[in-house]
Amino acid sequence: MSVTLIGKHEKDARASRDAMALPLNEMMAQDKSICYVDCDLMGCVNTKQLRKNYPDRAFEAGIAEGNGAGICAGLAATGKKVFFHSFGTFSSRRCYDQIYMSAAYAGLPVHVLGSDAGVTAAFNGGTHMPLEDGAMYLSIPEATVTDPCDYAQLESVVRQLPGITKGVTYTRFVRKDIIQVYADGSQFEIGKGVVLHESDKDVCTVVASGIMVDEALKAYEALQTEGIAVRLIDMFTWKPLDEALLAKAARETGAIVTAENHNTCCGLGSVVANCLVKNCPVPMEFVGVQDQFGQVGPQAFLMDEYGLRAANIVAAVKKAVARK
Amino acid sequence: MKELNVKELQVLAAKIRLETLKVIHSRGFGHVGGSMDLADLMAVLYGAVMNYDPKDPRWPDRDWLVLSKGHAGPVAYATFGIMGYYPMEEAYTLNHPHTRFPSHTDRKLTPGVDLTTGSLGQGVSTATGAALGNKIDGRESHVFCVIGDGEADEGQVWEGLHFAYAHKLDNIVYFIDNNGYQLDGTTADVLAHSDLAAKAASFGLYTQEIDGHDIAAIYNAIVNAYAKKGVPSCIVLDTCKGKGATFAEPSHEHSSQPKEEQWAEAIAAAEKALAEAEKA
């Protein structure tokens, strides 16, 4: 792991999807065993170039995600390293049994890419808003589940995926606008959380992923002005989870707040709680979508609506600390 | 492909029927109906058509078999045992704890099983994906995918055929085991299909419909399918569910739990049928 934090809350000039599409284009040139399958959404994630550049290895499955997932499993059975994309709702709910049985249960690795993580589905609305995709993939044995927060982290994760040969993988990512958190070239290790801030005065640890990492950074700054020191961990790797890092943080800071762009039922908060109950139980609070359905609207509105803001993290930290 | 020798394949089919019964009898109950009706197809595939190596089940240039109707596992276990993938007796552990022979075919457990099936419809997609992968690699091999007529209720079956047509996969042959029955009764009663062969043809597949117990007809239909370039093939097999199992054939049962004397009668009848086939 080699990480440089920028964390100035500035929007990246690039579309987040290119952190997946451009490296994948390079990887397909180098590794002829990589295949790509999409379900009529190449135009949304800039992967039409793959079909143009590698017509014998990048395929349209059309608007038929269940079949598309099965095609991927069959390709994997012939030794291909297979990437499969649709919107997060359709690459989880719509093809779950196919991913579960044809790929995971059958021992065939397929790398699933779910775009428009959580409220970033925005104007496509509640029907297209994946708030349970992570939960579904977390419950598949041997799966790898990540929720990258920015361009550099998504690119680093995508480059590691072909090396994962056991279990299916699920990468939930943002398609368009993204805040830059890390410097380009930062290298992350799946299974290892990233400590963004720590001190020996920390009274609580905030564990965030995805778009909530930037909100957590803002919360960290706000708490600092109030003289409250907190540890901040980017836990983009939901599974495998960095249990040692979490247990250490719980022991040393005595309280935990999780922050996720996902239902708090069965997402990051749940796996962190599972881990801590076994290792070092401490007061915990959960920032995220509180067991609600998605809805349509601008991302900023949705973040306010569901309590996915720095202010919500600040309040949760105070509540957790008060419970110590 | 080997030359057609009808008598030899009829003997093999009789052996497969007998061993299928013995495999299921080892547990005492199971999916007899939909296994027994595939014995003639399995005899043609493994006795004359397919390239495979029992000592190297994952040989990359092999022909593949995908029983999308995964509950027909026992007929595959019987066939693979006869062909030398493992000692036949090993398969007499069907559905026992830690067996390599579960109800539904599992590629991680059983030598010879190419893809895991069980949730109906899914084998059509995975078989199609395997055909695509073999095509990318420029292999000459074929994938054979067996679909149940009840299974054809699943929309995914038709998504798979659509994909195969669109990607011009002429290295896959789909068989529809048209036995007319599913768990709750006849396919006509549960959820009436229109003409399955006409439906497959309307998806752009080169489609033939034959007697699924006629060895020569099965062999010749596969010869025709191999000759057809640029489109996938579908062969609808008109079959009798439970064929050759004395207790299952009359009622076309989906799964059976016969009494021990019924098993004895069925196995004796299958042994007699084998002896007659050998004598013929």
pLDDT digits (tens, 9 = 90+) for B79-112: 999 999 999 999 999 999 999 999 999 999 999 9
How near does any CA of chain A get to the CA of B66, in Å? 10
Judge whether A56 and A85 are in contact, CB under 8 Å.
no
Give chain A's largest Cα–Cα span.
60
CA distance B163 to chain A (A): 7
- Considering only CA atoms, give the Rg of chain A: 19
Dihedral sign (CA A91, A94, A96, A101):
negative
DSSP, res B253: -
Contact B167 A59 (CB under 8 A): yes
Residue of B122, B126, B137 lying closest to A77 (CB–CB): B126
Assigned superfamily of A18-173: Thiamin diphosphate (ThDP)-binding fold, Pyr/PP domains (3.40.50.970)
A143 near A85, Cβ under 8 Å? Answer: no
User: Residue B127: which of A64, A74, A98 has the nearest Cβ?
Assistant: A74
Q: Is the pLDDT of residue A167 over 90?
A: yes
pLDDT of amino acid B182: 96
Q: Which residue of A has its CA nearest to B114?
A: A77
Cis peptide before B87 (omega within 30 of 0): no
Residue of B107, B130, B156 with shortest CB distance to A67 = B156
Q: Which residue has the tokens 């149940």?
A: B148
Q: Å from A167 to nearest chain B CA? A: 13
Supply the pLDDT for residue B253: 84
**Min distance B127 CA to chain A CA atoms (Å):** 6
Nearest to B136 among A56, A68, A76 (CB): A56
Residues 164-203, chain A: which have Cβ within 8 Å of B?
none
A105 reaches B (C-beta below 8 A): yes
What does DSSP assign to residue B48?
I
Q: By the 8 A CB rule, do B235 and B221 touch? A: yes
Cα–Cα distance measured from residue B12 to residue B35, given in angstroms and rounded to the nearest whole number: 15
Inter-chain Cβ pairs, chain A and chain B, closer than 8 A: 108
Say what the alpha-carbon torsion angle B36, B40, B45, B46 is, to the nearest 10 degrees.
70
Residue A145 sits at φ, ψ, to 5 deg, of -130, 125
d(CA A285, CA A281): 12
pLDDT at residue B137 in the model:
98
Alpha-carbon distance of A112 to A100, in angstroms, equals 12
In sequence order, the 6+-apart residues with CB closer than 8 A to the CB of A66 are A94, A95, A97, A98, B121, B122, B125, B155, B156, B159
Q: What is the mean pLDDT of residues A288-299?
A: 98
A153 inside 8 A of chain B by CB: no
Asked whether the beta carbons of residue A66 and residue B125 sit closer than 8 angstroms, the reply is yes
| List of E strands, chain B | 64-67, 143-148, 172-178, 181-182, 185-186, 206-211, 233-238
- State the pLDDT at residue A78: 98
Query: Is residue B255 very low, low, confident or very high in pLDDT (cuts 50, 70, 90)?
Result: confident
A310 touching chain B per CB within 8 A:
no
**To which residue do tokens 């899914």 refer?**
B122
Mean pLDDT of B160-178: 98
B153 Cβ partners below 8 Å, 6+ apart?
B120, B182, B190, B191
pLDDT tens across A90-139, in order? 999 999 999 999 999 999 999 999 999 999 999 999 999 999 999 999 99
A70–B156 CB contact, under 8 Å: yes
Q: What is the DSSP letter of A293?
A: -
Main-chain dihedrals φ then ψ at residue A82, nearest 5 degrees: -115, 130
| Angle between helical axes of B6-25 and B260-279 (0-180°, round to 10) | 160
DSSP annotation of A295: -
Judge: A70–B114 Cβ closer than 8 Å, yes or no.
no
The Cα–Cα gap between A146 and A214 comes to 17
Phi–psi pair at A292, nearest 5 degrees: -125, 160
Closest CA to A282 of A319, A318, A320: A320
Instruction: Give residue limits of the domains in chain A.
Output: 18-173, 194-318
Rounded CA-CA distance A131/A140 in Å is 17
The answer to whether the CB of A243 falls within 8 A of the CB of A192 is: no
Question: pTM score, two decimals?
Answer: 0.97
State the average pLDDT over residues A262-277: 98
Query: Helices marked H in chain A — which ranges?
Result: 18-30, 42-45, 48-53, 65-77, 96-97, 133-138, 151-160, 212-225, 243-253, 268-279, 299-305, 310-322
Say how many Å lie between the first and final Cα of chain B, rounded: 24
Radius of gyration of chain B (CA): 17
* Helix (H), strand (E) at residue A191: none
Give B136 to chain A, closest Cα distance, Å.
7
Residue numbers in A near B171 (CB within 8 A): none
Q: What is the mean pLDDT of chain A?
A: 98
Task: Indicate the pLDDT class of residue A87, thresholds 50, 70 and 90.
Answer: very high
pLDDT of residue A38: 98
Mind listing the pLDDT tens digit for each residue in B126-136? 999 999 999 99
- Whether A18-173 and A194-318 share one fold: the answer is yes
Tell me how close the Cα of A240 comes to any Cα of chain B, in angstroms.
Answer: 23
- Residues in A closer than 8 angstroms to B131, CB to CB, are 74
The CATH code that applies to domain A194-318 is: 3.40.50.920
Per CB-CB distance under 8 Å, the chain B contacts of A76 are 129
Indicate the residue of B60, B108, B125 with minimum beta-carbon distance to A98.
B125
In Å, what is the CA distance from A8 to each residue of A91, A182, B229, B232? 32, 9, 60, 56
Residue A59 and residue B132: Cβ atoms within 8 Å?
Answer: yes
DSSP for residue B159 = H
Helix, strand, coil % (nearest 5) of chain A?
40, 20, 40
In contact, B18 and B271? CB cutoff 8 Å: yes
A56, A64, A70 member nearest B126 (Cβ)? A70
Select from A78, A79, A102 the Cβ nearest to the Cβ of B125.
A102
Q: What is the mean pLDDT of chain B?
A: 97
